[in-house]
Chains A and B, each alone.
Chain A
Amino acid sequence: MVGSISIDSVRKEFKSADGSGETLTALNDFTLDIEPGTFVSLIGPSGCGKSTLLRMIGGLDRPTSGKITLNGKEITKPGSDRGFAFQGSNLFPWLTVEQNIAFGLKARGIFKERKKDVQEFIDMIGLNGFEKSYPHQISGGMNQRASLARALVGHPEVLLLDEPLGALDAFTRMNLQDEILRIWKEFGMTMIMVTHDVDEAIYMSDKVVVMSARPSKVEAVIDIDLPRPRARSQDTFQVYRSRILDILNLGGQVEEPEYSI
């Protein structure tokens, strides 16, 4: 089984944006192993470096120290073995839906052999009839679907999702969560998803990685031991949710009455 990711004591520093020359440490001594074919969510306070971690796995950024490997090979640059679905859809506005999805195959020069994959993914993601539409002519949800199809059509071993559903309304979001799960079930690739939504993380993942504030490391890895398919209103959800919120110190407290009977 391919698609195993190993993050080994990674440290990532940034030059501070205010020009003072100070460095910001986004991640420090970050270690995590991800088994092939699992669905992992990264959750944590904003600015804790979730996206940075995802970008490093994608090969868009390099760690300052430590290393990240895919199937035992160090990741140094982007590659078609890892699909990346960015925040927002980011389709190329000058290409039609179909051309957008075919972009990666064409760039790699394998479009001719794999031409029918494009149509297959258009069908799978439910965009039939919109193949020739331009991104600005279709809805936000459809944009997001097309962008997922674009990341998936090359059959990556790992799919990296950077808050892919963040900008969508609640119903479209739930719909797409189910689509993503269906695709994952069909292809069985490793999934790593950054999200702000605790419920989304619980509903979709095998493991939820809770990250601490900057400089970030793994605070806890929570196995979601729920059978699939899951129901969004399951009672056990509540248990996982309060555990995660407690770790994030967002659990809140019920005010105790000052008097007693």
Chain B
Amino acid sequence: MKKLIKLLRLLLPLIAAALTVITYYVIPDSGKQKPTEHPYFVYTVAAAAAVYIILGIISAFNKNLKKYIFEQAPFITGTVLFLMILNVVTTKTELLPILYFPSPDKVTGILIEQRVSLLQNLGSSLGLLVTGFAAGGSVGFLTGLALGYNKKVGYWLNPVTKFIGPIPTTAWIPLALSVFPTTQGANIFLIAFAVWFPVTLMTSSGIQSTSQVHFEVSSTLGASTLYRIIHVAIPNAMPSIFLGIFYGTVSSFATLMAVEMNGNSSGIGWYINWQKQVMMYDGVYAGLIIIAFLCTLILTVLFKVRDRVLIWQKGVIKW
């Protein structure tokens, strides 16, 4: 009996997928949404169901995966049911304004039909983000290190940092666009700036929080100044630095969208804005979905790196 309930829980997502496909074909369309060339939504649900089944088979040999799937099954079911209702509401009835709420068929259709150009835009966004992030992050780290470690540098640069840093990145856009010879340069600068400030602030605060005793311990053990910075101050600042990188990452996403929607001619932000201008809201949604995936992926990678680097804090970090 218990086994049967467990099995049922695992089958729930597939039942929901079947229901979704049935409602798709059985309930007649309202006819207001422009039909797509192919039933893309059905393809998507079927593909997801196929992935679920494959993972289910693999999980027979992998305990962790099995546990994960068992835990997530109700959530997956809920998500599929939500999509089913969304489809009913948008294509089968006229409950929501059709212009702003395109059918799942159309949104998934865009993702599939325009995949090449979407990928190109994604690549352009990603390139901009990575370049800006690397520049801002490394300059921020070095500034924070200097500010936190050296009192004289701190005296001169701290007020400057605290005065300039809080300026919202978007406020720099007009100036950056006119000062930099290329838009690309301005964009990189703006994203770098968004990352620079929180990384500087948190690095400096982490370095300053290094305990005097740890410095003394290391000097009695024969460590040089450079060795102490690298092996005592920086590891001590790491949790704080990661917090800075996290804030910086989030604000770099916002800046990326802002610069791409202002005078850019590529990137997901530009794509969303363009689709809005031509009243193609299905494209807007497709763009939003891609952005969501991109940002989630980057944050997931960041958290994985953090867990690896800060393994000594296991059980202590709560974010």
Please report A residues at the B interface, Cβ cutoff 8 Å: 58-60, 77-80, 82-84, 86, 88, 90, 92-96, 103-104, 106-108, 134, 136, 150-151, 154
Contact = CB atoms under 8 A, between A and B. Distances in A.
A93 B312 contact: yes
A104 B222 contact: yes
A136 B316 contact: yes
A110 to B, nearest CB: 9
Interface in B262-319: 312-316
A84 B220 contact: yes
A90 B214 CA distance: 7
Contacts of B219: 60, 77-78
A93 to B, nearest CB: 6
A81 to B, nearest CB: 9
Interface in B223-237: 223-224, 227, 231-232, 235-236
Interface string B209-253: 001011011111111100100011001101000000000000000
8 contacts: A79-B222, A82-B220, A84-B217, A88-B213, A94-B235, A106-B231, A107-B231, A154-B221
A60 B218 contact: no
B227 A83 contact: no
Interface of B: 211, 213-214, 216-224, 227, 231-232, 235-236, 238, 312-316
Main secondary structure on B side of the interface with A: helix
A94 B312 contact: yes
A133 B211 CA distance: 21
B221 A104 contact: yes
A94 B238 contact: yes
B222 A80 contact: yes
Nearest to B309: A94
Contacts of A90: 211, 213-214, 217
Contacts of A151: 220-221
Given A90-B214, A136-B316, A107 B223 contact: yes
Nearest to A110: B222
Contacts, number: 68
Contacts of A88: 213
Contacts of B312: 93-96, 134, 136
Contacts of A136: 312, 315-316
Nearest to B232: A92
Contact of A92 (B214, B216, B220, B224): B214
9 closest A-B pairs by CB: A104-B221, A107-B223, A80-B222, A84-B220, A94-B235, A78-B219, A108-B222, A78-B220, A94-B312
A104 B217 CA distance: 9
A58 B220 contact: yes
A107 B214 contact: no
Nearest to B216: A60
A107 B217 contact: no
B218 A103 contact: yes
Contacts of A77: 219
Contacts of B220: 58-60, 78, 80, 82-84, 151
A98 to B, nearest CB: 13
Nearest to B213: A90
Contacts of B213: 86, 88, 90
Contact of B216 (A86, A104, A154): A86
B311 to A, nearest CB: 8
A108 B228 CA distance: 12
B221 A103 contact: yes
Nearest to B222: A80
B307 to A, nearest CB: 14
A150 to B, nearest CB: 7
A107 B222 contact: yes
A86 B219 CA distance: 12
A190 B224 CA distance: 25
Contact of A107 (B216, B227, B313, B315): B227
B316 A107 contact: no
A154 B223 CA distance: 12
B214 A154 contact: no
A83 B216 CA distance: 11
Contacts of B316: 136
A103 B228 CA distance: 11
A60 B222 CA distance: 12
Contacts of B231: 103, 106-107
Given A92-B235, A93-B312, A80 B217 contact: no
Nearest to B219: A78
A214 to B, nearest CB: 22
Instruction: Please indicate which of the listed interface residues B217, B227, B236, B314 has the most CB atoms of chain A within 10 Å of its own CB.
Output: B217
A190 to B, nearest CB: 15
Contacts of B315: 136
Contacts of B217: 84, 86, 90, 92, 150
Contact of B218 (A79, A96, A107): A107
